[in-house]
Every structure is written in C-alpha cells, then in structure tokens.
C-alpha cells in the first residue's frame, strides 16, 4: 500500500498506531471496533477500506491517468 501511494505520488498521512497509543483508539473508533491494518481513508471519495491488495487495486483504479 505504501509503495502504491508513493508510486502514484499521492500526498498522504501515514499514522503509526502502536499499542497504548491514542492513535490506536482513534482508528478503533473509526472502524467500528475492528483493528485491522493497513486501513485507508480517502478524503477525496469518502472510501474507507482494509486489505492491502484491495487498497492497492483501488488506488490504481482511482488515481491512474487513463
């Protein structure tokens, strides 16, 4: 996922969420109580998703010039 974001030159914010970190609770709240990583939240489309392969497919389909 990180490689795809860089390859497509998409600006992004990468948040680390170690155990005990307030960021971990923030992610837990956003996902409805599920702790799965990686997690993508695209502010341009409102899409939120898990699963690396699906995220990479989404990024390429959405942000590759056609």
The reported pLDDT for the residue numbered 31 is 83
Spans of all domains in the chain: 2-63
pTM of the model: 0.82
The reported pLDDT for the residue numbered 43 is 95
3-state helix, strand, coil in the chain (%, to 5): 40, 10, 50
The reported pLDDT for the residue numbered 53 is 96
Tens-digit pLDDT profile for the chain (66 aa)?
Answer: 999 999 999 999 988 888 888 888 888 888 888 788 899 999 999 999 989 999 999 999 999 987
The reported pLDDT for the residue numbered 1 is 92
């Amino acid at each position: 996922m990180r490689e795809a974001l860089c390859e497509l030159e998409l600006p992004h914010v990468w948040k680390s969420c170690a155990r005990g970190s307030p960021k971990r609770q923030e992610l837990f709240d956003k996902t409805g109580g599920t702790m799965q990583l990686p997690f993508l939240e695209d502010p341009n489309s409102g899409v939120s998703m898990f699963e690396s392969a699906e995220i990479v497919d989404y990024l390429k389909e959405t942000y590759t010039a056609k």
